[in-house]
Amino acid sequence: MSSEAIKVNVRGVMPTANGCAVFLGNSDKTFIIYVDHSVGNAIQMTMDGVKKERPLTHDLIGQIFLGLGVELDQVLINAVDEGTFFARILLRMDNELGKKIIELDSRPSDSMVLALQHKRPIYAAREVFEKVEDMTEILERVLRQREEESSGGKDADS
């Protein structure tokens, strides 16, 4: 990947009143993409390695990829416009039909689930990364609060 994109990781998923906040970033900066509850849950379940009784939509898409000989190469969050993020999924196809690279428009939320499921990298375009507000302190505060609540609950049970 060129210097025009920066590798990011999902650093946390937090429920909100209207969905979930997905914290993405690296050691330099963290930003938030808001997603609906169902996709936020899918991201969290994938990160936690939760086994599902029946395939969810993202699982089905992964099975279709497998059946067609398509591999997810990477995800690129390529634009942001007034708080709405845009992403591209890059796929590689190598089957009896030939070799091909396919680029698809996608919601970042769906792209993240697929990238996590297939253990593939997520990138943010440099322009996006520079444009978004740094939310590292908020993520650290929320994680500290969660840790205090969980350790406080354990102490109270002792």
Question: What CATH code is assigned to 5-157?
Answer: 3.10.690.10
> What amino acid is encoded at 151 in this protein?
S
Q: Where are the domains of the chain?
A: 5-157
Is it the case that residue 153 has pLDDT exceeding 80? no
pLDDT on residue 95: 74
What whole-number percentage of the chain has pLDDT above 90? 66
Query: Residue 14 forms beta bridges with which residues?
Result: 21
Query: Residue 31 forms beta bridges with which residues?
Result: 24
Of residues 9 and 93, more confidently modeled: 9
pLDDT on residue 158: 44
**pLDDT tens track for 49-94:** 988 888 888 889 989 998 888 999 999 999 999 999 999 999 998 8
Tell which phi-psi region holds residue 82, choosing left (phi > 0), alpha (psi between -120 and 50) or beta.
left
pTM: predicted TM-score of the whole model, two decimal places: 0.86
Is it the case that residue 2 has pLDDT exceeding 80? no
